[in-house]
Amino acid sequence: EDEEEDGEEGSGHTRSLLWDELPDWGLSLVAGLSCCERLAEQDIWWQIRLGDDMLAGLPLPKYESWTYTSTHVPFHNHWPISSLIFALTHSLFSVPGLVVLRGVLCCLFFRLLLALRPRCRLRYPLAGFAFAVARHRLQLRPETFCVLVFLVLFLLPRPRGSPTLRLFPTPSLVVSAFLCVTLVTNTHFGMVPFIGLGSCI
């Protein structure tokens, strides 16, 4: 009987969690759908070309030779992960897949905004305001992945009762932050201004 009661309590708790998450994911889905528009990114095809070369087994490109504005000056590809994601999505699902990918990224962005302050009564209007301000930059660009990863930094687990700013962070927090920064470093060079932010978190 005790096991049956524990099972009923567990299932009830799960249903309660799912019901509580429903508004957050519903609004996030609406935000994502609002971004499923016609592609207007200026450099998406340039990114896809980089990714196509890597998918073809070629080394990281050092010269840009496929655009009429090419200066043939060597460059370092700081964003191989995002280029591969764009190229793989395009090769599998063509342009509609890219539109859906942008919607998914915007959906995750809004959901992570809501997760920053789960008990705040104003989190819905605040998240909506932040989303509206950032929406014009939430495109299929490498820095969009950076924004998502740095939001995850704020959500890394901390010991109960610990302040946001820690002089001596726990080892697990250091490792998690390091992995996030490493991921962003290989996604876009826009991580540079956020190194101080990551150290404070």
Tens digits of per-residue pLDDT, 148-164? Answer: 887 887 787 665 555 44
pLDDT-derived band at 1 (thresholds 50, 70, 90) equals very low
Tens digits of per-residue pLDDT, 95-132? Answer: 999 999 999 999 999 999 999 888 888 999 999 998 99
Tens digits of per-residue pLDDT, 18-28? Answer: 777 899 999 99
Question: What's the per-residue H, E or C state across the chain?
Answer: CHHHHHHHHHHHHHHHHHHHHHHHHHHHHHHHHHCCCCCCCCCHHHHHHHHHHHHCCCCCCCCCCCCCCCCCCCCCCCCHHHHHHHHHHHHHHHHHHHHHHHHHHHHHHHHHHHHHCCCCCCHHHHHHHHHHHHHHHCCCCHHHHHHHHHHHHHCCCCCCCCCCCCCCCCHHHHHHHHHHHHHHHCCCHHHHHHHHHHHHC
Query: What average pLDDT does range 38-53 have in this prediction?
Result: 87
Total-model pTM: 0.75
